[in-house]
Amino acid sequence: MRLPRGTARGRTRMGLVALACGLAVLATPAQKKKKEEETQVLQLPKELPGAVVGDTRRLTFHVTPLSAKGLLSHQVREALKALGHETGGAPVLKIRAFVAGSGDARRVRDLVSEVYTEHRQPLPVLTLIQAGALPLEGAQVVLEGIAEGKKEINPQGLVFLSTQAAFSEDPLDPVAPLAGKSLAALRQAVQAAGSEPGDVVRVTCFLSSLADLEATRKLVAAEYPAAAVNYLQTQRAPARALAAFEAVARLRANPGARVKLVNPEGLPREPGESQMALVAAPQVVLSGAQFSFGFQEPDARLAFERLQKALEQAGASPRDVAFADYYPLSASIASQVRRVRAAFFDAAHPPAGSLVLFEGLPSMDAGFAVDVVAVK
């Protein structure tokens, strides 16, 4: 018996629709499984470089504003966004991050890598240090950035000034009087370099306490109104009161050498350090932090050996180092650093630098960190 043409066509259409639905049902689980597999593959953050090279005459210095909003990860992303805004999108060569609070400081490294990779920008070197406190309740991170702008704003070069420290044996003593002494020494150092207060581009204020910080702020603002300034408490429970100021300034005259290490009369000198490094080299090498994984002198030597390797990969050597920052966690480790560094740097002409005790480091078994500025 022959079916009406319309009925046959309807059944054919219904069969095609059923076949399509069946294929869709069969394909859907596979597609879902494939999609689930794709989302489970996480990209590991790219490794940050050990050292980068920058143009001395185009370096700019920045300090990010503090924020108390959100957890550490949110604050880091906001700080990186603020740093990008301040630099106008110029390449950021180095970040020094001071973290306070209970957040996992190691997350900062991953976030720096993720953010710069997402924006397809060169990865900066990083120094990551745990501080005692920051001058805003709820703030967990502050970033110091060094970027390379398009214009030559340091035509004669830069001077890196060693930390000028003032101490009191009583940790409860007020900081403002100590800050006044430290600023007086820093003023003398700036003058000895041939620079003016308006030439100072960054000041980092290492303090034992943030109580009555406003008094210290006024002193610094009156002295260096154009500088990017960072204030932080180095330890939660320091053994003595401290105000120590580290600075970078533009040179007004070429020192006549790639780097000139100077020790002006009248300024106290830290053994194994010069008071200032006048840098006229066309390029500088900025390193990230290298850590001592362990608390013995062989561990310290390994940290300096890793630093040496990072410098050599960037075309420099320990004898090219102009400035070194050390971040020990105790006085005994600081003494260890003083002993070990003499074997790596020119003992007759040691780099300028800073050696201040801090609260912690990203690794639980790290005793100190070190980063440097070298000439090339």
CATH, residue 125:
3.30.1330.40
Both 106 and 182 in one domain: the answer is no
- Is 284 within the bounds of a domain? yes
Rounded mean pLDDT of the chain? 90
One domain, residues 233 and 321: yes
**Would residue 7 count as lying in a domain?**
no
pLDDT tens track for 81-122: 999 999 998 999 999 999 998 888 889 999 999 999 999 999
Question: 239 in a domain, yes or no?
Answer: yes
117 and 234 together in one domain? no
> Is residue 232 within 8 Å of residue 142, measured between CB atoms?
yes
Percent of the chain with pLDDT over 90: 83
Q: Are residues 139 and 165 in the same domain?
A: no
How far is 64 from 62, CA to CA, in rounded Å?
7
What percent of the chain is modeled with pLDDT above 70? Answer: 88
| CB neighbour burial string for 158-174, b if at least 16 within 10 angstroms, e if fewer | bbbbbbbbbbbeeeebb
Instruction: Write out pLDDT tens, residues 331-370.
Output: 999 999 999 999 999 888 999 999 999 999 999 999 999 9
Domain count, the chain: 2
pLDDT over 90 (residue 6): no
Identify the pLDDT of residue 269. 81
Q: Is residue 9 part of a domain?
A: no
Tell me, yes or no, whether 158 and 301 share the same domain.
Answer: yes
**Cβ(359)–Cβ(235) below 8 Å:** yes
Instruction: State the pLDDT at residue 7.
Output: 47
Of 128, 149, 170, the residue at which a domain comes to its end is 149
295 close to 367: Cβ distance less than 8 angstroms: yes
pLDDT of residue 173: 96
Q: How many helices (H) and strands (E) does the chain have?
A: 7, 16
Is residue 27 assigned to a domain? no
* One domain, residues 233 and 177: yes
| pTM of the predicted model as reported, rounded to 2 decimal places | 0.88
Q: Which of 105, 127, 149 is the last residue of a domain?
A: 149
Residue 308 is encoded by which pair of tokens?
A: 């040496």
Among 75, 92, 93, 74, which residue's Cα sits nearest to residue 83? Answer: 92
The answer to whether residue 4 scores a pLDDT higher than 80 is no
Burial class (CB in 10 A: 0-12, 13-18, 19+), 370: buried
Domain membership of residue 353 as a residue range: 51-58+150-375
